[in-house]
Amino acid sequence: MLQVTDLVVRYGSATALDGVSLHVDDGERVALVGPNGAGKSTLVNTLSGVVRPASGQVRIDGRLAHVPEGRQLFPELTVEDNLRLGAWRSGNRDPSRVYAVLPDLDRIRRQRAGTLSGGQQQMVAVGRALMADPDVLAVDELSLGLAPIIVSELADHLRALNREHGMSLLLIEQNARLAFHLCERAYVLESGRVTAEGSSDDLARSPEVARAYLGGITEQDGPDEPTAAPSAPSGWSSE
Amino acid sequence: MSAFLTYLVSGVAIGCTFALVASGFVMIHRVTRVVNFAQGTFAVVGGMTTASLLGRGLPHGVAEVLAIVVCGVVGLLVGAIAIGKPGTPPLASLIITLGLAIGAYGVEVVVFGDQPVSFAMARGATTLGGAHIQWQYFLVMGATLVTFTALALFFERTYVGKALTACSSNPYAARLAGISVLRMGLLAFALGGMLGGLAGVLITPLQPVSFDSDAVLAVNGFAAAIFGGLMRPGTALLGGLVLGVSESMVGGYVNASYETEVALALMLAIMVWRSARTPVSVEEAA
């Protein structure tokens, strides 16, 4: 469904992604975890064609839709207009199929997106991406700035979309607990490289991953690595 | 009283043409963040092309519409040069449009000559409250009203209009949705060209237009557009009317040679007053 091979992305002289390979199979839920500045958003921006890779390959069978970090809605337009613009590629501008999966959106369809709560905005962002009728949905930082109960509700929606519509899911998350819980398989991305991959269960049991991403380390702003990162050994992937 | 009415009506009509020039500034700036200093050029091209086509025997209606279409093409070309290269900063694009506006002088002189041109559109006049008022003034007002209504409907009701707003509101998200921000920018330039062209077509019967008339039109249109923060067509219309009427009053009662200066000073005073009353809205960093 989605195959990324040896992807290298540079911003000027800085290398953001340094030979990343990963794949998402049909109907699979895959997580990409890692600290701030690891290159997670760069990867998904490359997948959606906003960032051009220096080398490497991206193959997508079908359509990928991207729910960007920070929602990125059109605040002065209504919820319904935001949704309809998501259909620019698919051409099917009738939002009723999205209302069927996310009924909360139907109730607020006439409100301006800028007036909504964070959770509602995230739901609009997901709904707008769904309007593209994607085969793969890439969600960048679903949980950022949202209350846990809202996050778990959104996660339920994503799981249902995956189960009932067979949509593959690529979840980019700093919240590894959520990522491992929602996804079957995961990759750990650090400083532009995949440093670990495997089933979510295996990764959650790996002491290094657990220490770096599940061990009560508070998320930090900026590109600083969590405290455990400097000691990360090279051979801790569970292939 | 009749003099006042004459000044008022002609001021409103001139203000309408400023507002049309302003709407082109707004259209292009909303979508591309580029201040298009070739906006006055579109009006000159519109007026001169119409005069030239009428001179070749084309009937009214056809000549005007063709001239506006030509302006749309000119707008598209200016856009292609100004924003065609991805990643061009808006300030660089602004300088490009300024250069194109100056370069256009040469082309206009070669194609249309260096003499002011004019033509009659709505002939005759009527008497209103003792004032003698040309029909052309009413034509200008009517066309402006129709154009601004159409613009509002275009942005509020149509899918493409909303896509233009989306590019303006969040270009990154628009790209993610698959909207080509470059193509939308070029569309905005083409529409901006047509709006400028319409302004030129309407103003040429009132004030003869020559190749260098673009400066005064661009300055007035820009001032009107700034009134709405270069983002809101409706406020730009208001700005155009304030400018047009105050220029007409100063020209009529004081001295016509100061009309632009006084009107622009008034505009500045209004904007200073407004910004002192309302907090400055911080534009989101791109």
Pairwise CB contact (< 8 Å): A72 & B165 = no
Q: Which of these, A211, A182, A217, A218, lies nearest to A196 by C-alpha position?
A: A211
Give long-range contacts, CB 8 A cutoff, 24+ apart: A148-155. A150/A118, A150/A119, A150/A122, A151/A175, A151/A178, A153/A119, A154/A119, A154/A122, A154/A123, A154/A126, A155/A181, A155/A182
> Distance (Å, rounded) from C-alpha A185 to C-alpha A2?
14
Question: pLDDT by residue (tens digit) across A83-102?
Answer: 999 999 888 999 999 999 99
Question: Which pLDDT value is given to residue A224?
Answer: 42
User: A interface mutation test: which of B176, B179, B180 has the most A CBs within 10 A?
Assistant: B176
Question: In chain B, which residue's Cα lies nearest the Cα of A126?
Answer: B177
State which residues of chain B have pLDDT below 70.
Answer: 1, 278-286
The answer, yes or no, to whether residue A13 has pLDDT greater than 80, is: yes
Answer yes or no: is pLDDT of A223 > 70: no
The predicted-structure confidence for B123-169, as pLDDT tens digits, reads as follows 888 888 888 888 999 999 999 999 999 999 999 999 999 999 999 99
Please report, for residues A58, B106, B208, the alpha-carbon distance to residue B192 in angstroms, rounded to integers and kept in the order given. 38, 22, 22
Shortest Cα–Cα distance, A22 to chain B (Å): 21
Global pTM? 0.87
- The DSSP line for A116-147 is S-HHHHHHHHHHHHHTT--SEEEEE-SSTT--
Residue B177 and residue A48: Cβ atoms within 8 Å?
Answer: no
Residue to substitute from A74, A122, A133, A136, interface B, most B β-carbons within 10 A: A74
pLDDT digits (tens, 9 = 90+) for A199-222: 999 998 888 888 888 764 433 444
Q: Among A158, A146, A73, A67, which residue's Cα sits nearest to residue A111?
A: A73
pLDDT for the residue numbered A121:
95
pLDDT at B280: 55
Q: Identity (one letter) of the amino acid at B6?
A: T
pLDDT of residue A138: 96
Mean pLDDT (chain B, rounded)? 91
Residue the block writes with tokens 């002011």: B116
Residue A225 scores a pLDDT above 70 = no
Residue A237 has pLDDT above 50, yes or no: no
CATH 1.10.3470 fits B2-276, yes or no: yes
> Which pLDDT value is given to residue B284?
45
Signed CA dihedral, B248, B254, B257, B258: sign only: negative
pLDDT digits (tens, 9 = 90+) for B139-152: 999 999 999 999 99
A205/A202 Cα distance (integer angstroms): 5
Model confidence pLDDT, tens digit, residues B241-264: 999 999 999 988 988 888 888 878
Higher pLDDT, A49 or A215: A49
Q: Closest residue of A to B164, CA-based? A: A85
Q: Is residue A138 less than 8 Å (CB to CB) from chain B? A: no
Show me where the domains of chain B are located: 2-276
ipTM of model over 0.90: no
* Residue A127 predicted with pLDDT over 50: yes
